[in-house]
Structure 1
Amino acid sequence: MAEIRLTRVEQGQTKIKNVPIAVTPEGFWCCPSPVVFQKSLKTQNPLNKHKPSSPPPPKTGVQKKPVAVPVSVSVSERRTASSAPSRLVLSDEKQCSTAPERPPPTTTSVAAAERAPRQKIESLPKKVAIEFGEPGTCDMKVVLLGKQGFCVKLSVHRDVLTQKSGFFSEKLSEQSGLSCLQIADCEDVEIYVETVGLMYCKEMKQRLMKQSVSRILRILKVAEFLGFSSCIQSCLEYLEAVPWVGEEEEEKVVSTVLQLQAEGIGVNPVLKRISSDISNVPKDTLSHIIDLVLKSNEESGRREMKSIVLKLFRENNSLPSYARSTDICNDMIYRSCRSCLDSLLSLFKQAAEPDKLSEDHNPTAKCIALEADNLSWLLEILIDKQAADEFALMWANQQELAVLHAKLPTVSRYYVSCLSGRLYVGIGRGELLPSKDVRRLLLQTWLQPLMNDYNWLQHGCRSFDRKLVEEGIGRTILTLPLEDQQSILLSWLGSFLKTGDSCPNLQRAFEVWWRRTFIRPYVENQGNVAVSDSSSMLPKQRE
């Protein structure tokens, strides 16, 4: 490893921080540890604690040495002030050094005289000197001024900077004899130093491999500012290959890469991870995923994937309407619903055959349960998408399935009643709004089969919520005209008086119907009579 030449500290000059820097003839170098920069920043303005017993120093006892700021011709950067991470000042070699110190005047305070050198040195900005390449071969300086006066002086080679950086090439070509270039207001001095060091690396990929994604993004930002095209390309290749851990990191990568794309830099390989050029991929892929889930016979895997896909659909529903292909997705789901309904009807017909009914263990019962579960899952997706009205119509029109339902053993058919119960709950909650005729037909077709299976649902179905279903049925009934309410509730009353708890308890809906039928008309009539009496008395009072 080559030795690093650090600028010698002369008396009265800015204090220089010695840091472990290593540079090889091939250009491989070790950037100062971030701790070095952090410690330097922390110790720039230390608090000078005074002992209570010591007298306070007089204000006129010591004068601090003024620090000369290199002032020269300001050159506008490639970026605007709002987006540029630094400010450039071009200066010669003499202007990059600090001004000589003024001798402090004598003072009568001994304590103040002892503290004066310490205060003067610690209050000055820290400076780190770094030399790249072979010792003694550098032909220019680059001074980086960070926040709070932190300064890094880089000894570099003009030909390396002009070959690697479009920014340096442009600025140095404007003034060929320039020996010192100062970049002020650097937001990330550490990354500036590392990026300049990367200009000396022949194997940049190996240098970047051990870096984190967040650090690569910082390097990419500085490399783009400096016009360091080979570094930009290496960073993009790194981001294309390395995993992005978590959504937050992915968003940072995508945001940074899109900014580069807006400036005309090719970033398609990185963006291909999150986008596709094929237009029909979402539709075909969704259809394929749903088909795989619906046709799975493995209970655990099917249950897990149904939960995951349902969650992802809900996340998609939170997007604005213009960002979703709602109609295409709904059509695809309804095609799956029709396929499941056809399969369920075929299974009911098989299970209703005499030879199947005589079997103790009907193999079609498991298939019926699977298809009913598939339909329930698709219904949940449609309810979340606020598109389940058509499903209610499809289910209400399954009269043939309802007739076959009565012929099957309860253990084989009760899964279907769970689906009817979910529709009643959805209507009661306002999650779907089918028409009056559909609501009436849904109750006429499937309420009695549900009541026939109710005892089994309570004891054989763990996911069945009795109170929720009863409330949904009652609310659905009360949305119908009063005559339909009466017909359905009187039919329910006959079943409830025979079977008791084996029938849904719709007493709340019954009470509402009772008040609407017997009490409300009387109250309205009494109100009308009172109004008519008061109106007839008004002329007499006037007389």
Structure 2
Amino acid sequence: MAEIRVPRLEKGQTKIKNVPIAVTPEGFWCCPSPGVFQKPFKPQPSLNKAKQPSQNSSIQPKKVSINEVKSGPTNAGLLVVDEKRANGSDAIVLNAPLSNEKAGRPGPNKVENMPRKVTIEYGEAGTGDLKVILLGKQGITVKLSVHRSILVENSSFFATRISEQQPVFPCLEIDNCDDVEIYAETIGLMYCQEMKQQLIKQSVPRVLRILKVGERLGFTKCIRSCLEYLEAVPWVGEDEEEKVVASVTRLEGHGIGVGAVLKRVSSVTEKPPKDTLCRILELVLESKEEKGRREMKSIVLKLLRGTSSSSADGSCNETIFAAFQASLDSLLSLFRQAAEAKLDDKPMSVRETAAKPIALQADNLLWMLDILSDRQAGDDVAVIWANQRELVSIHSGIPVVVRHYVSLVSARIFVLIGQGAVLSCKETRHSLLNLWLPPLIDDYKWLQHGCRLFDRDVVEEGIGRTILTLPMEDQRALLLSWLGSFLTNGDGCPNLQRAFEVWWRRALARPAAAAAARVD
């Protein structure tokens, strides 16, 4: 970093703040750091010294040789002025005409509240033939000493404004600049031959600001350089991605190629979402690596929840239902094979081998059941499951170590109905309980001890609540059947005592109380 240093001046003289200037690989003197535009200038008390500089002395920006401009690097000096100059000829005051004013010294309490004035000189000092004055909305005024030919060559905005000047004036004013700092930096980029080198050290938000100003100025070279930068760098976070896409999309109708940037988020040849989702489900459902499968199931479930209200719901649900039916068909085929193999007479190792693919398909069904219930389509799954009579008929002929995974699906459906997440009709609920509750009771002991994620309390609550949604006659038949199993198997049977108590109150206590009231 290079730094311009000037001696301290006394009261009545110009107060100049030291400004850090960064030298780029090309020799371009960058715009002051944001702190120059944002931090207020504080007055410093003067010191009485034996020798004081003359009040008529002038201070010039750092000068560079004109030969450096010809050979490649371009330099700009900077001078930041904190209050009116002593002679008053170059004063820059916000919302004031650019005319000579009397030299005046502000009071000590007014210095910090005065509008900040910044002077920036591009190219070789003293060679500029045009003054561009930027009037910022935050009370900042920036005067740029520039070269008319460079602005006309690079900016359609300046080319139009300058051509409209009749006669030609040495000053051009831009009002209501919402980002003075970036305006100054973007104009400075017109002096760069390798603009990419200037942008490479910037952040994405700052380049978006430069892109916005470049668009307003009609600075095509700058716009293209910003697009090249945005195409190459990563975008961090969804918020930044949305800002990039919005900024770039705004340029689509201006004849500037933005396709390279937008291809990161969209593609003309992209396959339909249905095909992509189908492929994702296929990869997850066929995976046998436990850790990766578990993590991807969680991610896909979360992402699908985030799109559950999109217009593509119908197509997405159809794809998931197709995958659910495919897994159900595979499960039925595995049950048939297990029944034909007569696994009761085979050693435990053979049974465990036969159980693995059944466990995989049952896990797939559970995952897709959760997805569809989140998308308000779980009632259709309940209808499908209530019609699996062949699966139930084969169930009892297969060893429990092989078959019990299927009862997890039944238990999950009962839990969803009990929680009100699946709204099935009375006939479906009745069919589910009549068809799948007996197999579930038969497998209950294995479910408790063989499945680490099995939550007995939740399952029993779900079964009981599902039973209590039926008419009283159906409640009586189901609970009396359960009572016989519970008295026989004890802890190896679901404990539906809460549901039994509710049914007892409905069937016996309430009628008895009503009869007693009538007698009275």
Task: Give the TM-score category using the shorter length.
Answer: 0.7 to 0.9
Letter in 2 for 1:201: C
- Cα contact 1:396–1:445 (8 A) shared by 2: yes
Superposition deviation, residue 518 in structure 1: 2.1
Letter in 2 for 1:224: E
Superposition deviation, residue 441 in structure 1: 1.0
Q: Which residue of 2 aligns with 1:346?
A: 333
Pairwise CA RMSD of aligned residues? 3.4
Matched, 1:182 2:169: no
- Cα contact 2:385–2:432 (8 A) shared by 1: yes
Unmatched 5+ stretches in structure 2? 46-85
Change (3 A) 1:265 1:523: farther
Matches within 5 A, 1:264-413: 267-278=258-269, 280-317=271-308, 321=309, 323-360=310-347, 361-362=349-350, 363-413=353-403
Residue by residue over 1:355-405, the C-alpha shift from the partner in whole angstroms, topping out at 9 and shown as x without a partner, is 543222122211110010011001010011110111111111111111221
C-alpha distance in 1 between matches for 2:225 and 2:435: 67
- Cα contact 1:495–1:503 (8 A) shared by 2: yes
Change (3 A) 1:401 1:346: same
Q: Which residue of 2 aligns with 1:243?
A: 234
Change (3 A) 1:199 1:354: closer
Change (3 A) 1:348 1:47: farther
C-alpha distance in 1 between matches for 2:364 and 2:87: 80
Superposition deviation, residue 260 in structure 1: 3.9
Letter in 1 for 2:41: T
C-alpha distance in 1 between matches for 2:208 and 2:362: 50
Matched, 1:101 2:103: yes
Change (3 A) 1:324 1:527: farther
Superposition deviation, residue 338 in structure 1: 1.1
- My pick for the range that moved more, 259-268 or 409-418, is 259-268
Superposition deviation, residue 526 in structure 1: 5.7
Identity in percent: 59
Q: Which residue of 1 aligns with 2:82?
A: none
Letter in 1 for 2:302: K
C-alpha distance in 2 between matches for 1:457 and 1:185: 72
SS in 2 for 1:29: coil
- Cα contact 1:128–1:152 (8 A) shared by 2: yes
Q: Which residue of 1 aligns with 2:506?
A: 516
Matched, 1:216 2:218: no
Letter in 2 for 1:31: C
Superposition deviation, residue 70 in structure 1: 8.7
Matches within 5 A, 1:15-30: 15-21=15-21, 28-30=28-30
Letter in 1 for 2:292: G
Letter in 2 for 1:303: R
Superposition deviation, residue 183 in structure 1: 2.5
1:194 paired residue among 178, 185, 200: 185
SS in 1 for 2:248: helix
Residue by residue over 1:236-293, the C-alpha shift from the partner in whole angstroms, topping out at 9 and shown as x without a partner, is 2211221001122222222333444477765333222222334752110000000010
C-alpha distance in 1 between matches for 2:279 and 2:115: 64
Superposition deviation, residue 28 in structure 1: 3.1
Residue by residue over 1:27-60, the C-alpha shift from the partner in whole angstroms, topping out at 9 and shown as x without a partner, is 733222233333xx3216x699xxxxxxxxxxxx
Residue by residue over 1:468-507, the C-alpha shift from the partner in whole angstroms, topping out at 9 and shown as x without a partner, is 1111111111111211111111111100111111111111
What count of residue pairs does the alignment treat as equivalent?
475
- My pick for the range that moved more, 376-385 or 519-528, is 519-528
2:434 paired residue among 423, 429, 444: 444
Q: Which residue of 1 aligns with 2:40?
A: 42
C-alpha distance in 1 between matches for 2:345 and 2:362: 23
- Cα contact 1:425–1:471 (8 A) shared by 2: yes
C-alpha distance in 1 between matches for 2:279 and 2:172: 60
Matched, 1:130 2:130: no
- My pick for the range that moved more, 396-405 or 447-456, is 396-405
C-alpha distance in 1 between matches for 2:190 and 2:488: 90
Q: Which residue of 2 aligns with 1:254?
A: 245
Between 1 and 2, higher relative CO (CA 8 Å, sep ≥ 6) is seen in 1
SS in 1 for 2:119: strand
Matched, 1:203 2:194: yes
- Cα contact 1:140–1:157 (8 A) shared by 2: yes
Q: Which residue of 1 aligns with 2:66?
A: none
C-alpha distance in 2 between matches for 1:348 and 1:447: 19
C-alpha distance in 2 between matches for 1:120 and 1:431: 68
Q: Which residue of 2 aligns with 1:76?
A: none
Change (3 A) 1:97 1:122: farther
1:467 paired residue among 453, 457, 460: 457
TM-score (norm. length: structure 2): 0.82
Superposition deviation, residue 5 in structure 1: 13
Q: Which residue of 2 aligns with 1:159?
A: 149
- My pick for the range that moved more, 296-305 or 16-25, is 16-25
Residue by residue over 1:156-177, the C-alpha shift from the partner in whole angstroms, topping out at 9 and shown as x without a partner, is 0001111111211111111151
- Cα contact 2:419–2:462 (8 A) shared by 1: yes
Q: Which residue of 2 aligns with 1:537?
A: none
Q: Which residue of 1 aligns with 2:423?
A: 433
